[in-house]
């Protein structure tokens, strides 16, 4: 086998932290843990140490990141500007051997492990300068976002679309994902007509950044390394903005905001309120980020791997109706 390259310094890399429950399917193990407790769970894992876990929901995304790294290394053999995947788990260190065996079985390059033994991983995410954190635990994701770390809760889909082996595709919603939720607040509280007027009036005033802007920025940084070597046409990273906004009435502000940040998306799709699922089925992203569960569910139904960003006013509404927020999230950061 070829010698595995050393992991890059976190300050140079684009660090993606994935939880063990998104990387691998650990549903059965989780059940043992919940029904029989920690000791039985650890014993169960030790017994099955040599059986690799089956792939989980973030597995195709991680594979795609590795493919990009292979291409980056061909063009820049000594560069540390690569994706670096960190496995975050609050598992007991004893379970680590089965995780390591699984990683080697699928030939994944994951050298950084954070086994926090039940402690919250947020402090470690900061120490690793994490550019994106993916978990199945919405409370941890929430905590990460409140700490200013791009994060999302991953959801499996019933049937998965076939994904590209040569290109990482990442699709983002706009408001409350790449941008702040200021415009969404106007839609929810004053309706679409006021929103259109507002967006027209402030067309040249960039929107404030949302929780995932820094991840798009990190992707852009790596894309430009391909462009610098004349590889724009077959760049192995492609980004999509998939927004419910209408282009003519509310599109310019979004595009001008990206421009003001020095960022671009490869494709911008303005759906004017049409469902996102069918379009995502065509794009086939390795991951799609949205702040509204309604869109996540629509994406899942048509085989798209979706990740929920629990941020902004959208958390207080479902299908346009306000929900009781006594126990919902209250984090309007404007």
How does strand 317-318 pair with strand 321-322?
antiparallel
Residue 266 bears catalytic tag: no
The backbone torsions φ and ψ at residue 224, rounded to the nearest 5 degrees and listed phi first, read -65, -25
Q: Which of 84, 107, 173, 290 is catalytic?
A: 173
Alpha-helical (H) ranges within the chain are 20-23, 27-36, 38-47, 59-75, 96-105, 122-127, 138-146, 182-190, 192-201, 213-227, 247-260, 277-283, 293-301
For residue 212, the Cα-to-chain-centroid distance in whole angstroms is 8
Quick one: which of 271, 259, 328, 295 has its CA closest to 176?
A: 295
Q: Would you say 25 and 33 are in contact if contact means Cβ atoms under 8 Å apart?
A: no
104: which residues sit within 8 A by CB, 6+ positions away?
none
Other Cβ atoms closer than 10 A to 6: 8
The 3-state DSSP class for residue 237 equals strand
Give CA–CA dist 298/280, Å, rounded.
Answer: 10
Residues annotated catalytic, as ranges: 173
């Amino acid at each position: 086998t070829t010698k595995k390259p050393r992991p890059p310094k976190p300050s140079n890399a684009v660090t993606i932290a994935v939880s063990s429950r998104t990387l691998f399917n650990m549903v059965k193990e989780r059940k043992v843990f919940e029904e029989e407790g920690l000791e039985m769970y650890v014993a169960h894992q030790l017994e099955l140490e040599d059986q690799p876990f089956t792939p989980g929901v973030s597995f195709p995304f991680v594979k795609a990141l590795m493919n990009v790294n292979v291409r980056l290394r061909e063009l820049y053999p000594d560069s540390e500007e690569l994706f670096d995947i960190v496995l975050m788990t609050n598992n007991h260190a004893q379970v680590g051997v089965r995780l390591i065996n699984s990683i080697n079985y699928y030939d994944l390059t994951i050298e950084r492990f954070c086994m926090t033994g039940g402690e919250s991983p947020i402090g470690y995410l900061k120490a690793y300068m994490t550019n994106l954190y993916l978990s199945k635990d919405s409370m941890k994701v929430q905590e990460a976002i409140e700490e200013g770390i791009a994060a999302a809760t991953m959801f499996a889909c019933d049937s998965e679309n076939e994904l590209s082996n040569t290109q990482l595709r990442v699709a983002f919603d706009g408001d409350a994902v790449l941008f702040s939720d200021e415009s969404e607040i106007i839609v929810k509280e004053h309706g679409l007509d006021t929103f259109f007027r507002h967006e027209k009036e402030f067309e040249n005033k960039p929107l404030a950044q949302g929780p995932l802007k820094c991840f798009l920025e990190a992707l852009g940084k790596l894309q430009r390394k391909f462009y610098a070597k004349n590889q724009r046409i077959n760049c192995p990273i492609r980004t999509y903005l998939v927004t419910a906004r209408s282009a003519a009435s509310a599109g310019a502000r979004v595009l001008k905001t990206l421009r003001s940040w020095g960022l671009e998306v490869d494709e911008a799709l303005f759906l004017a309120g049409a469902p996102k699922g069918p379009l995502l089925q065509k794009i086939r992203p390795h991951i799609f980020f949205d702040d509204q569960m309604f869109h996540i569910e629509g994406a899942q139904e048509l085989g798209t791997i979706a990740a929920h960003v629990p941020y902004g006013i959208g958390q207080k509404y479902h299908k346009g109706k306000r929900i009781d927020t006594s126990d919902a999230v209250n984090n309007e950061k404007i």
